[in-house]
A = this chain, B = another copy of it.
Amino acid sequence: MVQYQDRLDRALAAISDPTRRSVLERLAGGPASISELADPFDISLTGMKKHVAVLEEAELVSTEKVGRVRMCRLGPRGLDEAQEWIEAHGRAMAARLDRLGTLLENDDQGEQR
């Protein structure tokens, strides 16, 4: 019963790492090999491959082996679900906070419906 959220879980966890966010930003500029992705960071090839694997499992990135090079590009699915959740609930949270802001320092218990 948690499984249908799995992709959202993975996507959010994937982008919670700054290295992986940088990788996504880099790939937004076009495909790149593992080596090219690893280059700007103080990280081993193996380490970068792991990051790419995480992004791939979150379906944010797709890869393809071409000769001895693994080309990485943005996946077709992208951050849609993550964006949807944040927009829907971020909006609700902000709205709630706005109302709270006007009522605060006054009555907290009354908020509990």
A residues near B (Cβ < 8 Å) are: 2, 5, 8-10, 12-13, 15-18, 21, 24-25, 27-32, 66, 71, 73-74, 76, 78-80, 82-83, 85-87, 89-90, 92-94, 96-97, 100, 108, 111-113
Contact = CB atoms under 8 A, between A and B. Distances in A.
Given A13-B13, A18-B2, A86-B82, A113 B30 contact: yes
Majority SS at the chain A contact face:
helix
Contacts of A80: 90
The count of identical subunits is 2
B12 A15 contact: yes
Contacts of A32: 112
Contacts of A24: 89, 93
A37 to B, nearest CB: 12
A72 to B, nearest CB: 11
Contact of A90 (B5, B8, B83, B112): B83
